[in-house]
Amino acid sequence: MTDAPLLVTDRDAVRVITVNRPDKLNALDSATLDALHAAFDDAATDPAVRVVVLTGAGPKAFVAGADIAEMAGLRPAEGRDFSLRGTRMMRRVETLPKPVIAMVNGYALGGGLELAMSCHLRIAADTAKVGQPEINLGLIPGFGGSQRLLRLAGRAAALELCLTGAPVDAARALALGIVNRVVPAADLEAETMALAGQLANAAPLALRGILDCINIGGECAIGEGLEYESAQFGLMFATEDMREGTAAFLARRKPAFTGR
């Protein structure tokens, strides 16, 4: 196992990024945040990559939080800078024009849950636990936890998880809408890669349009969001993939999308 903070591998059109600090339960320090930002920049610009899967090394944790040893000595301005560093990285993930799937293989706590929530989809092992335990350190979420929990799970759940700091199991996370699917731990990789493969075979420009509509339109008033969707819908008619998709449907064959 390399000492690099990340492991990056490609499986056809799926890029797998693994946070590689298992001895620290994959805690996010500054170096790892920067490495993740760079890795997602690379994925965004690599035309061979259509989908990204993000996970953590080892059997225990997806990411168990930010690195407390690094945070403990920070002064107020340094703490704000650390928060902004993580927030910018997670916005890089959230705004990636390609689907990102979090493969939650264990604890996703604090910064780990924040990282998972910045992904577009989340598949969790039935043994996983998620939470925002910052209150137990005299802190609050600093990488977007309060805001993304509010949007994913609603006000009541966001307040409960942030105020109590208590983790919830995968089944409750599914019920709250924090994760999309829960699967047996033994099946997690296979299920995640099957979904990634399905998305990798879809029309890349349409995937990007859907991500933009939901990410941008979701922050607008309904009228503005509908106008944005109509504009994006119209743009699809300029793509070769739209012509291929409709022709394949009419010919009753499988489409071959090229991203053009």
229: annotated active-site residue = no
The token pair at 236 is: 């699809």
Q: Choose, from 78, 94, 114, 219, the residue flagged as catalytic.
A: 114
Report how far residue 42's alpha carbon sits from residue 15's, in angstroms, rounded to the nearest whole number. Answer: 10
Per DSSP, which regions of the chain are E strands?
6-11, 14-19, 51-56, 61-63, 100-104, 107-109, 121-125, 129-131, 168-169, 181-183
114: annotated active-site residue = yes
Rounding to the nearest 10 degrees, give the CA dihedral for residues 29, 107, 109, 162: 180
Which uninterrupted H or E stretch holds 152?
Answer: helix 145-153
Q: Choose, from 70, 78, 94, 134, the residue flagged as catalytic.
A: 134
Locate tokens 């849950």: which residue? 113
Active site members:
114, 134
